[in-house]
Amino acid sequence: MPRKPKREGYVDAKGLHVGYVRFPADENGVVVRRKVKHKDYDEMLRRKRALEAERDAGLPPVSRVQTVREWCEHWHANIAPQTAKRATLNTYGDALRNWVYPYVGNVALVKLNHRHYDAMMRALEAQGLSSDSRKKARATLNRALVCAVQRHELTRNIVAEMDGVPTVPKVKDALTKPQVTVVLDWCRNENDKYEALAVLVLLIGPRQASALDLRWDDIDFGENIIRIEDEKSPSGTRDVPMPQRLRDALLRHQQVQELERMVADVWGDPGLVFTTSIGTRIHRRNALRWWHGVTEKAGVGRRRMHAGRHTAATVMKDDGVDTAVIAKILGHSRTAVTEAFYIKPSTAQLQPGIDAIDRIYGDD
C-alpha cells in the first residue's frame, strides 16, 4: 500500500494550520522565514506554494516593518484603480487620509490587531463622526486588508473579524421650496462665484461628482439641454431639459469664467464648467466647504451637498410631478429607489389622510 504523503506544517493552539517558507539569506546573511496560517489545511498549503513560487522567482520576502499607511498607499495607487471608478478612488483617499492614517497609519501592517482597530473606531466616534463616515473608514481599511491577504502581505484580515458599525437613522435634510428660494437668492445677491453650481444641485439634483465634472460640451444652449454624466452608474447618464433659472445662471457663469481666463496666467482645463481660480477641477472637500458656507450664511443651517438631490426630488413630487419623470431626471433606473430614498412626503401630502380620519371619527 502506498504511503500517504507527509502533512506539512503543524496545527497551533487556535486550531490553525501553520506552514513556513524559508527565503535565501539577504546581503547581511539573515535568513528570513515567512509564516502562513489558515484554518483549512489545503488553503494553507495553497498559500504556502504561492509564497514558495515567489521565492523561487527571486522575489524578496515582504518587509516585516511595512506600515499600514505604506501598504494602503500602494493599494490605493496601484491596485484599487484596476476596478474602482474615480469617484470611488476619491472616497477611498479621503477616508484613508482623514480617518485611517491618523490612528493606525504608523502601525506595522503585520502587527495590526483588534485593539488598534477598536481604538481607531472609538476615536472617530468621539470626533462626532456619523455612522456613515465610520462605515466608510471601516470599509476602506477592510478592502485594503483583503488585498493584503490575497497578496500574502498578511495572513489574516482583522477588520473582517470585527462587528460592523451600528446603523443610525439618517437625518432628512432636504430643503423645502421656500428654503431653496432663500439659498438661490442669497447666491445671486452676494454674486457668489458658484451660483450656477448651487442652482444645478438644487433644481435637478446631480450627484456631486457629476456636477463637478460637468463640461461646457455637455451643455447645449440652443436645444436647452444639459447632459449629466453619472460616473457611479453609467446607465444613469441622461439628457435633461434646463430650467430657465439654471440656463440663465450658466450663461452668467460662462461670461465670468471667460473674463477670468483672459486675465489668468495659466488655466488648467478650458472645458470644465466649475473650476478653481486657475482652471482646475474643484476638489470635493473644497466644494463641500463652499456648500456648507452657503447654506449656513443663507440661514437654512448646515446641509449635505447630497441633500440637493433629495431636495430636487421632493420639491418636484410636492408639485405633482410623476415619480417616473423624477427618476429619469435623477438618473435612477427604478422608481422604487426614488420613492424609498429620495422623496420625503410633505405635511401637505399627508393632510388628505388626516382629513379622512376627521371625517370618519369627527362625529361623536
Amino acid in position 3: R
Per-residue model confidence (pLDDT) at position 2 = 55
H-state helical runs in the chain = 41-56, 68-74, 86-95, 101-104, 114-126, 131-150, 177-189, 195-204, 208-212, 244-263, 284-297, 307-318, 323-330, 335-337, 347-361
Tell me how far apart the alpha carbons of residues 355 and 24 are, in angstroms, rounded to a whole number: 83
Nearest CA-CA partner of 101 in 141, 129, 133: 141
Residues 346 and 277 in one domain: yes
Domain that holds residue 218: 177-350
Residues 226 and 264 in one domain: yes
CA 362 to chain centre: 51
Residues 291 and 146 in one domain: no
Tell me how far apart the alpha carbons of residues 324 and 343 are, in angstroms, rounded to a whole number: 12
CATH number of the domain to which 101 belongs:
1.10.150.130
What's the chain's Rg over C-alpha atoms? Answer: 27
Nearest CA-CA partner of 165 in 133, 209, 211, 198: 133
- Dihedral sign (CA 14, 40, 72, 162): negative
Residues 245 and 319 in one domain: yes
Q: Is residue 166 part of a domain?
A: no
Per-residue model confidence (pLDDT) at position 30 = 65
Q: Is residue 29 part of a domain?
A: yes
Antiparallel, parallel or unpaired: β 17-22 and 33-38:
antiparallel
Q: Is 165:121 a contact under the CB 8 Å cutoff?
A: yes
Q: Is residue 46 part of a domain?
A: yes
Residues 74 and 42 in one domain: no
Tell me how far apart the alpha carbons of residues 60 and 74 are, in angstroms, rounded to a whole number: 17
Residues 206 and 330 in one domain: yes
Per-residue model confidence (pLDDT) at position 341 = 61
Grid cell 463622526 is found at 129
The total number of structural domains in the chain stands at: 3
Residues 215 and 335 in one domain: yes
Antiparallel, parallel or unpaired: β 219-220 and 225-228:
antiparallel
Q: What is the mean pLDDT of the chain?
A: 85
HSE-CB of 164 using CA atoms within 13 angstroms: 10
Q: Is 103:118 a contact under the CB 8 Å cutoff?
A: no
Residues whose CB falls within 8 Å of the CB of residue 40, separated by 6 or more in sequence, listed in order: 17
Q: Is residue 208 part of a domain?
A: yes
Q: Is residue 331 part of a domain?
A: yes
- Strands of the sheet containing 219-220, edge to edge, are 219-220, 225-228, 238-241
CB burial class (10 A; 0-12, 13-18, 19+) of residue 3? Answer: exposed
Residues 116 and 195 in one domain: no
Q: Against a cut of 0.75, is the pTM above it?
A: no
Q: Is residue 4 part of a domain?
A: no
Residues 194 and 316 in one domain: yes
Q: Tell me the backbone φ, ψ of residue 336, rounded to 5 degrees.
A: -60, -35
Q: Is residue 172 part of a domain?
A: no
CATH number of the domain to which 281 belongs:
1.10.443.10
CB burial class (10 A; 0-12, 13-18, 19+) of residue 273? Answer: buried
291-140-85 Cα angle (round to 5): 70
Residues 77 and 139 in one domain: yes
- pLDDT < 70 stretches in the chain: 1-5, 26-30, 60-64, 164-172, 231-235, 336-337, 339-354, 357-358, 360-364
Amino acid in position 156: R
Per-residue model confidence (pLDDT) at position 340 = 63
Q: Is residue 85 part of a domain?
A: yes
Per-residue model confidence (pLDDT) at position 195 = 96
Residues 280 and 236 in one domain: yes
Residues 31 and 76 in one domain: no
